[in-house]
Amino acid sequence: MNNELNGVIVIDKPANITSAKVVAIIKKLFGAGKVGHAGTLDPEATGILLCCVNKATKLSRFFLTGSKKYEAVLHLGVETDTQDAAGKIISTSNELDFTEKTISAVFREFEGAIEQVPPAFSALKYKGTPLYKLARKGKAIIKPSRPVFISYNKIRKINMPFISFEVCCSSGTYIRTLCSDIGKKLGCGGHLKKLRRIESSGFTINEAVTLSKLEQLVSTGKINDRIISMSEALHDMPEYIVDKILTKKIKHGILLTTKDFMPGNIDDLKNFIKIVDRNNNLTAILKINKDSNRYNYCCVFN
């Protein structure tokens, strides 16, 4: 069991495999005690799946709320019960005589802060049961709409009935629901034909490795070249380099206040800060409580 390998690896997930299966493959390849992903992808979708190994599984929640970018293909004129190509067709339309100007205008309507109803076929839960399991039994549960934010929808190509586009959005946004909503707005219906995640929480597809390449790296002993250290993985989180005295306090869980930090070094630090040693090893993550001038422990690493 390899419990010394700690960090994040960016996987380029292939189609027709679940995110859970990818995690199981990595766990077996690495001989790791723990592996988890930070943000699932539907089985048919491809692209970035952030996987946290061993101690880095404690960091998963810090990646779940990051923004995402996708390349997607919308199929107009065909509506499915799952809002994607895997579902059953529930309606069709041949009324697809839209101008590029009309399509662009509708896409712009779904930018900024919008309300989105999560799909009935999703991993969200109702009384402990995933919605997709209930939907398959004919007991579809419609969750209340919730706010999401779409930074932009960029149409790349229109080849009716298909529209290729790129979208940058907040965590929790369903691209298949976006496709369905755009189809409804146009009056012809539509579903998500293809989806690829190209960015997640600041990680890009250029950093990703395929499962076949991953297996090759493991077999040649070069896997450390692709593991992102825990401190480097939290690239957007402000850091504070600790001395031996503060390191000892952290390891013993002693309450920390502003007096424990050098004056002027924490003025610009907000919400969470990562504590690293002089070798850039992650020691802890703290949450700032400015009202009490105290720091709450989120994670501590030996």
Same domain, 132 and 148: yes
Task: Say which residues have a Cβ less than 8 Å from residue 24's Cβ, sequence separation at least 6.
Answer: none
What is the model's pLDDT at position 145? 78
Residues 73 and 191 in one domain: yes
Residue 2 resides in a domain: no
Claim to verify: residue 187 and residue 266 sit in the same structural domain: no
**Looking at residue 14, what DSSP letter applies?**
P
Other C-beta atoms within 10 Å of 243: how many? 10
What does the alpha-carbon distance between residue 209 and residue 26 come to, in Å, rounded to a whole number? 12
Count CB-CB contacts under 10 A for residue 262: 10
Residue 145 inside a domain? The answer is yes
207 and 87 in a common domain: no
Can you read off the two tokens belonging to residue 241?
A: 């380099």
Whether the Cβ atoms of residue 25 and residue 210 lie closer than 8 Å to each other:
no
Q: Output the domain CATH number for residue 130.
A: 3.30.2350.10
Of 215, 232, 249, which residue sits at a domain end? 232
How much is the pLDDT for 246? 85
Contact between 177 and 116 under an 8 Å Cβ cutoff? The reply is yes
Q: What is the pLDDT of residue 126?
A: 45
Contact 5, 32 (CB under 8 A): yes
Structural domain that includes position 254: 237-300
Helices 211-219 and 19-30 cross at an angle (nearest 10°) of 10
Pair (194, 262) in one structural domain: no
DSSP state of 34: -
What is residue 117's predicted lDDT score, i.e. its pLDDT? 87
Cα radius of gyration rounded to whole Å, the chain: 22
90 and 184 assigned to the same domain: yes
Q: Which two tokens stand for residue 142?
A: 């419609």
**What CATH number corresponds to the domain at position 295?**
2.30.130.10
Amino acid 191: pLDDT: 97
Do both 74 and 164 map to the same domain?
yes
Question: How confident is the prediction along the chain (302 residues), in pLDDT tens digits per residue?
Answer: 565 889 999 999 999 999 999 999 999 999 999 999 998 898 899 999 999 999 999 999 999 888 999 999 999 999 998 899 988 999 999 999 999 999 999 999 999 999 998 775 555 544 555 555 544 545 555 657 789 999 999 999 999 999 999 999 999 899 999 999 999 999 999 999 999 999 999 999 999 999 999 999 999 989 888 899 999 999 888 888 888 888 888 888 888 877 777 655 555 556 888 999 888 999 999 988 877 778 888 889 87
pTM over 0.85: yes
In a domain, 84, yes or no: yes
CA 17 to chain centre: 17
Predicted pLDDT of residue 3: 58
Give the C-alpha separation, 149 to 132, whole Å.
24
Residue 296 forms part of a structural domain = yes
Q: Catalytic residues, which ones? A: 42
Per the CB < 8 A criterion, the answer to whether 50 and 39 are in contact is yes
| Domain count of the fold of the chain | 3
Please report, as a single letter, which amino acid is at residue 13.
K
In terms of domains, do 61 and 37 share one?
yes
